[in-house]
Chains A and B, each alone.
Chain A
Amino acid sequence: MAKVLVVTSGKGGVGKTTTTAALGAALAQSGQNVVVVDFDVGLRNLDLVMGAERRVVFDLINVVQGVAKLPQALIRDKRLENLWLLPASQTRDKDALTDEGVGRVIDELRSRFDWILCDSPAGIERGATLAMRFADEAIIVTNPEVSSVRDSDRIIGMLDSKTVRAERGERVEKHILITRYDPARAARGEMLNIDDILEILATPLLGIIPESQDVLKASNVGTPVTLNNADSAPARAYTDASRRLMGEEVAMVVPAERKGFMDRLLGRRAA
């Protein structure tokens, strides 16, 4: 059964694209057939983070409008043969996407892949609503700060009302992924703590990704962080999150200030 997973947040700059690339690569590493789809038409980034920017010929808009066939637009990753990218157009804008067109492309992707990861643009407008429209599951990427948490709350409300599943009376399964978690600042009380975030959002936790230079390094060389340095703290946190997505029980780790951040095992399997 193919699963359509939207990576969304409302707020910009919280790590949606990084998360899409890292989880896509982690799922592909464990043998799943994965495609990552960039919905950020006009401001595409996923091709850069995946290191495929020099191989883009056709894009999502071309496929939606029927100018190109899906296989022409799909780009295979050079490192993992079962990881693919469907890039966005940089020259068009989000109005070029249509409901039916996107639905048709998603249906076609469902027949080819196990996981379809949709990288949503920031905001709550057309691009973001279309990215979540056909989702079965959603990852809400949240930073431990009030503005990000409130935007996430808004996005959860939209997932519960504006998706095809919601309109059919079904649920979109939702997960919170806390990114850019800084243990030092959390210890000083400068960030929202994880319990507060989960209490506000009333949604299960998928993982906590620590703030790390490794993330920036990986995007600069165009490699998903899970492939660039698999032993780094963010890579391990993303790999754990991908295993939870596949239904495995993995103990939740709250990154701690000291080097051995595995110290504090919470054992909490999401609220």
Chain B
Amino acid sequence: MDVRADPTRQLVRLRGRSYVAFVFSPVVPIVDWLAEIDATLARSPGYFVGKPIVLDLAAVDLSGAAIAHLVGSLNERNIRVLGIEGVDEERLGGNMPPLLTGGRACVITRNEPAQKAEPEAKPKPTSLLLDSPVRSGQSIVFMEGDVTVLGSVGSGAEIVAGGSIHIYGTLRGRAMAGVNGNSSARIYCQRIEAELLAIDGYYQTAEEIDVSLRNRPAQARLEGDTMKITPLN
């Protein structure tokens, strides 16, 4: 048996919902205002991505062409305009964002997932410990902080550190500390036979290191523009 029910009429339901949008209020000159936007984007690219943006043009008097140009400029920066406020409707062309009215100010709560994830990430280590000798030809580069070597650094090996360098053994290779411009970085070693020492770009080669310092515990530090190498103890 074939039962045919009358098709029930589907009602188009209209629901209301409110969203929080960023409101841009451009000021003249528009070029300078866009430069501000560019600066914000340079600091945090993608800040406006996926956010509803409303243009409030009440403070400026722009022609239809100027508004179209402004919306286009924002589009070029990947900022999509949801609607426009504070302007006569006749100035908005057919393919422009719609006119909005009745907006209420509110506080923007920031709950971006990127910021949530941040506390979970472990803080980066600020020192590097090597418990074996550094051999000739090896290069240890650690820009984030101090390097400590339990053992010797061979002739032809190099240690590059953003912070200080500590060597519990003989330093026969090169040690470059404070390479990020940290002039308070120092180099310590139990026996100095270094090929080259450098702190924040100031360097001394083996020839310039005083013979009386050789084969002893020593530290190197910067005093103004000069490197001071002094015996330890």
Contacts and interface: CB of A to CB of B under 8 A. Distances in A.
Interface of A: 124, 146, 150-151, 153-154, 156-158, 160, 199-200, 202
A153 B169 CA distance: 15
B136 A157 contact: yes
Interface in B124-160: 132-138, 151-152, 154-157
B221 interface: no
Contact of B136 (A153, A199, A202): A153
B217 to A, nearest CB: 16
B170 interface: yes
B186 interface: no
A151 B151 CA distance: 18
A157 B138 contact: yes
Contacts of B157: 153, 157
24 contacts: A124-B137, A146-B155, A150-B154, A150-B155, A151-B136, A153-B136, A153-B154, A153-B155, A153-B157, A154-B136, A154-B137, A154-B154, A154-B156, A156-B135, A157-B134, A157-B135, A157-B137, A158-B137, A160-B132, A199-B170, A200-B155, A200-B170, A200-B172, A202-B133
Given A153-B137, A157-B134, A199-B170, 6 more contacts: A153-B136, A154-B136, A157-B135, A157-B154, A202-B133, A202-B152
A113 to B, nearest CB: 30
A150 B132 contact: no
Contacts of B136: 150-151, 153-154, 157
A246 to B, nearest CB: 27
Question: Which 6 A-B residue pairs are closest in the complex by CB-CB distance?
Answer: A157-B135, A153-B136, A154-B136, A154-B137, A153-B154, A150-B155
Contacts, number: 40
A13 to B, nearest CB: 19
A160 B137 CA distance: 13
Interface residues of B, number: 15
A160 B133 CA distance: 11
Q: Is the interface of B mostly helix, strand, loop or mixed?
A: loop
Contacts of A160: 132, 135
A153 B138 CA distance: 10
Contacts of B172: 200
A200 B152 CA distance: 8
A153 B156 contact: yes
Contacts of B132: 160
Contacts of B151: 202
Contacts of A146: 155
Interface in B157-192: 157, 170, 172
A21 B12 CA distance: 94
A156 B132 CA distance: 12
Contacts of B154: 150, 153-154, 157, 200
A183 to B, nearest CB: 25
Contacts of B137: 124, 153-154, 157-158
Centre residue among B136, B138, B151, B155 by max chain A CB count within 10 A: B136
Interface in B103-140: 132-138
A251 to B, nearest CB: 27
A113 B29 CA distance: 86
A148 to B, nearest CB: 11
A74 B119 CA distance: 63
